Structure 1
Amino acid sequence: MKHTKQMSESIRLGIILAMSGGFMDAYSYIERDHVFANAQTGNILLFGVHLSQGEFKLALSYFFPVFAFMLGIALAEYVRSKNIEILHWRQLSVLIEAVILLGVSFFPLTLNLPANALTSFACGIQVESFRKIRGNGIATTMCIGNMRTATQNMFHFFHKKDREYLKKALLYYGIICCFVIGAILGNIFCQHFQEKAILCCSVLLFVAFIFMFVDYERAAASVDTK
C-alpha cells in the first residue's frame, strides 16, 4: 500500500490539481454567472443573501452547486469503497472528473445552472480524493486551510529555526501560487474560448491521470530496491 499512497501524493500531481482547482473557480465565476466551483462558503453565503431578499431563482443557482459538491464527495467515497482492481480509486476519480468537465464544455451559456452543478460535482470528487502531498494534508481546490497551515509553519520556523517548518511552509504557499496560476489561466482562456475554456482544465486532469501511472511505477520500483 505504500507505493499506492505515494502515487497520489507527489508534488507534480499536486501542482496540476491545484492549477485545475483555480481554473475551475475562475471559469465558473467569470463565465457562468459568478458562481463558485470550489468556494462553497461563498456559494452558501450568496444563497442566504438572495434567499433573504426573496430572489429564489438566484438562490437556487447557488444552492445546487453546493448540493452537487456534496454529491461529488459521496461519489468519491463510493468509488473508494468498490476496491476496483484495474485502476486505483483515485485514478478513476480524476478520470471521472476530467470526463465531467469535458461534458461541461458543451453546455451553452443558457444552461449555466447544470454546468455549474457539474463543475462543483467534479470539485467535490477532487477535494475528497486528494487530501495530501508528501504526507501533508493539503487541499488543491481551496486556499484558506493551506494559508493557515503555511503561516503556522512559517511562524514555527522563525521561532524554532527548524528548516523542516520552512520546507512545509513553502510547500503550502507553493500550492496556493499554483491555484492562482490556474485562476489566471482560467481568466485568459475564458476571454478567448468562453464556455469551451473548461476543456483546458479537462486536459490538465487527463495529464494528472497519466502522471499517476508514472508515479506508481517509480514508487513501486523504489519499494522493490529496499
Structure 2
Amino acid sequence: MGLRSRPESLAVASLLAATGGFVDAHTFLARGGVLAGAQTGNIILLAAAAGGGDVAKALSHVPSIFAFMVGVLLTEVMAGDRVRRLLRRPVRVVLLLQVVVLVAVGFIPRAPDISVTNSLTGAAVAFAAAMQFSVFRSVRGLSYTSTFASGNLRSFIEATYRWVRGRGGPTGGRQAGDLGAVLLSFVAGAVIGGFATDAWGVRAIWVAPVVLLAVLALLVVETRRLERA
C-alpha cells in the first residue's frame, strides 16, 4: 500500500494541489521547460524532442523522470516497518523534506534552458513532487492527485454527472464540489506560479515551501483534534 496520509481535509488537499500547479508552472518557465510533477508531459516532451532529432533536449528530461521514480521508491521504503518505527510521523517528515529541497533549489541561479544545472534542479523538484504525489491521495474519502490534473478532471466530470443524474447519493454534490475545488486550486496555483516566476525568477519557488508549511500546520492541528476526539 505504501506510505499514505489519512484522508486529507479539503483545505489541505486544495493547498497541496495549488502547490503542485505552482511548481510545475515554475519549473517549466524557469528551468528549461521541464515539468516537476506531470511526468506524462516530460515523457511526451522527451519523445517529441528525440523524434525531432534534438538529443540534448530529449536527455534534459531524463533526470526529472528518474528522480520522480526515486521519490516514489523512497516513500515505499518509508512505509516499511523498520522505518516507521524510527519515524513517528513519516508524513510530516515528507513535507519537511519537500520544504528543504524547494528552499535549496531557490538558491540555484537560472541557467540556459538545456544545461546540467536545469536538469539537476528539475530532478530535485521532481523528487519532492513524487513524494507528495505518493503520500497524499485522498480528500474526504475521494481519490485525487495533487501534482497533476488529468485524473482529477476525469473524477470531477464523473462525480458531477452522477450528481446531476441523481445517482451520487446524499454526498454526491459535496464530492463534485470537492473535486472541483481541487481542480481550481491546481489551476490557480499554476497561474500564480507563472506570475511569480515572471516577477521573481528562480526565487519564486520559495512560495511553495511557505504553502507546504501551512499544510504541515493544518495537519498538526487536525491530528491533535482527532486524537482528542
TM-score when normalising by structure 1: 0.91
Residue by residue, what CA displacement relative to the aligned partner does 1:31-80 show, whole Å, maximum 9, x if unpaired?
Answer: 11111111111110111111123322111111211111111111112222
CA distance in 2, matches of 1:80, 1:88: 11
The range that moved more, 131-140 or 80-89, is 80-89
1:5-154 alignment runs, 5 A limit: 6=6, 9-81=8-80, 82-84=83-85, 87-110=88-111, 111-154=117-160
- Runs (5+) with no aligned partner, structure 2: 112-116
- CA change 1:214–1:85 in 2 (3 A) is farther
Q: Flag the structure with higher helix content.
A: 1
CA distance in 1, matches of 2:41, 2:47: 10
The secondary structure found in structure 1 opposite 2:216 is: helix
Identity of aligned residues (%): 28
| Aligned residue number for residue 179 of structure 1 | 186
- Note if contact 1:157-1:163 (Cα within 8 Å) is conserved in structure 2: no
| Aligned residue number for residue 217 of structure 2 | 210
CA distance in 2, matches of 1:174, 1:72: 27
CA distance in 1, matches of 2:173, 2:11: 19
Structure 1: which amino acid aligns with 2:102?
L
| Aligned residue number for residue 221 of structure 1 | 228
CA distance in 2, matches of 1:95, 1:42: 27
Give how far 1:85 is off.
5.2
CA distance in 2, matches of 1:5, 1:74: 16
CA distance in 1, matches of 2:98, 2:5: 20
The secondary structure found in structure 2 opposite 1:141 is: coil
The secondary structure found in structure 2 opposite 1:34 is: coil
Structure 2: which amino acid aligns with 1:66?
I
The range that moved more, 16-25 or 81-90, is 81-90
| Aligned residue number for residue 156 of structure 1 | 162
Runs of 4+ aligned structure 1 residues displaced above 4 Å come to none
- Note if contact 2:5-2:135 (Cα within 8 Å) is conserved in structure 1: no
CA distance in 1, matches of 2:63, 2:5: 33
RMSD: 1.6
- Note if contact 1:28-1:36 (Cα within 8 Å) is conserved in structure 2: yes
